Structure 1
């Protein structure tokens, strides 16, 4: 029995669209030279789901790859996200317009809030000229920073959960409503969130108003399965898309890609490690967003296959053995970690 090629994603008016069950992630640290060729290789390998974000700085390259591929726009599913300094309700559509212009598209399929906090921009005029990517300065990104290099938080428009922890009153609802307006204008088919906790999402559920929260994109892999958050999403019709499905390197140098159990299961199933981890994610009812610039791995990461119940149980149990069997609460510390996943 094969794994599903897609799953249903809720959009306005009770309708659904199909989101491919495996996506290709377009974020990587460092330069962006790889982006066009790697994205084109992914499209040629059969990927039809691209996960992007304004902050990644690869919109132009991804747009070029799409055009060069010759694949009809209707056959593609494209996700993007606005960075927190576009999170004020007045600036949400502005970021989407920049994304569409840079990619050369008339619409995207899914528009996400990248984080549950909102940061203060220099000005709306600065945002109109803002540029992203690894080689851009803070000023070029149009964002206000404190002397210690941290963004200035707009607590009023951050989620109530985040603001409350810092002694402020906040609400993400006006930003949600600005996102919903983008659906009504046809600039995106669906909307969702990224890095939101259960509490953050619960604030928004009473305000869906015919345009539902369709997705929550979070870090998920066998060391961090986030089962409670995934199950919460399923209960409310929210698809979980998974960034960093291969995890990263831990402080002690351990990596999931070299974990002995993962290597053993991959060999047992005649798979490479990335293929195994993507298969685990799809079989759990989530959508992995693996990233590679190597054509062979790009192809194998898409070739997901059903695993045995025993192998799924082994992978499910890895979190506890690594002390990672938790649900991440992104409201820790002052607001949100400063990285671009």
Structure 2
């Protein structure tokens, strides 16, 4: 992890940047276009969106207007809960691709397991089809707990390459992380800054002062040193730049432990076992 372009190798050999831009709740149109362009100009190679965010068109426009060759970028989107199921997932993928204006996708994720629907295995079969057809370079899941993954692994043909979950110093999910490592599934963090809820945390502030960094930079660095891909969201160019300025320092093992010990199993998002929104 030497710089912003550093990558982790997924179990199918595809290289995925350790760091990227998330665009959750970023408005479609100029806001998301400017965010994505600012990130690409700052050297980001990875952009993470989702059908439910309603901004795939803007993301696609920013990619088209950037001067970076498509093959140098890593683009992720996700199938929403109401579109789960084999045929509906394939249709949702086509719709996302049309909005993004892309010929292929780098990573496609099932957004939530939605256990009440019990369709994620069927949805996964659609992702396997897209993967085998070469329309997407890697496939994975989002917000899957260990028991959802175990269930999926029982009869999937392709093991998920990524599991994107809520992950920050107050929700470290160590058992899930260990399970993912054992099964060569790359863990990825959404809401790594706990939506700003950690900026006043005294332990983090003290560590930030020690390294001459912001609290956000310390948290993002902690993610990377824990081998977790991370995608902080911002719409401000200076913040997008600042978030990425984390490759010139390293947290000591003692400081890593201090941050690890802040865990309280506290979520800002929904619990995947009860998230049944369609």
TM-score of the superposed pair, with normalisation by structure 2: 0.91
Gaps of 5+ in 2: none
Cα–Cα, structure 1 residues 32 and 242, in superposed 2: closer, same or farther, change >3 Å? farther
Within-5 A mapping of 1:79-158: 79-117=76-114, 155=117, 157-158=118-119
Gaps of 5+ in 1: 119-152, 159-171, 250-254
Counterpart-to-counterpart distance in 1, 2:41 and 2:235: 13
Q: 1:264 aligns with which of 185, 206, 209?
A: 206
Cα–Cα, structure 1 residues 262 and 338, in superposed 2: closer, same or farther, change >3 Å? farther
- Rg larger in 1 or in 2? 1
Q: 1:55 aligns with which of 52, 55, 59?
A: 52
Cα–Cα, structure 1 residues 65 and 240, in superposed 2: closer, same or farther, change >3 Å? same
Counterpart-to-counterpart distance in 2, 1:36 and 1:30: 9
Counterpart-to-counterpart distance in 1, 2:75 and 2:81: 20
Displacement of 1:291 in angstroms is 0.7
Displacement of 1:303 in angstroms is 2.3
Native 8 Å contact 1:214 1:237 kept in 2: yes
How big is each residue's C-alpha offset from its partner over 1:48-98, in whole Å with a ceiling of 9 and x where there is no partner? 011110111111111111111111011011111000111011111111111
Q: Which residue of 2 aligns with 1:65?
A: 62
Native 8 Å contact 1:38 1:293 kept in 2: yes
Aligned length in residues: 273
Report SS of the residue matched to 1:240: strand
Counterpart-to-counterpart distance in 2, 1:336 and 1:279: 29
Within-5 A mapping of 1:154-303: 155=117, 157-158=118-119, 172-209=120-157, 211-248=158-195, 255-303=197-245
Report SS of the residue matched to 2:194: coil
Q: 1:307 aligns with which of 251, 269, 272?
A: 251
Displacement of 1:117 in angstroms is 1.7
Counterpart-to-counterpart distance in 2, 1:225 and 1:288: 13
Displacement of 1:173 in angstroms is 2.2
TM-score of the superposed pair, with normalisation by structure 1: 0.75
Native 8 Å contact 1:19 1:77 kept in 2: yes
Counterpart-to-counterpart distance in 2, 1:57 and 1:324: 27
Displacement of 1:29 in angstroms is 6.3
Native 8 Å contact 1:197 1:329 kept in 2: no
Cα–Cα, structure 1 residues 74 and 2, in superposed 2: closer, same or farther, change >3 Å? closer
Native 8 Å contact 1:274 1:297 kept in 2: no
Q: Which residue of 1 aligns with 2:263?
A: 319
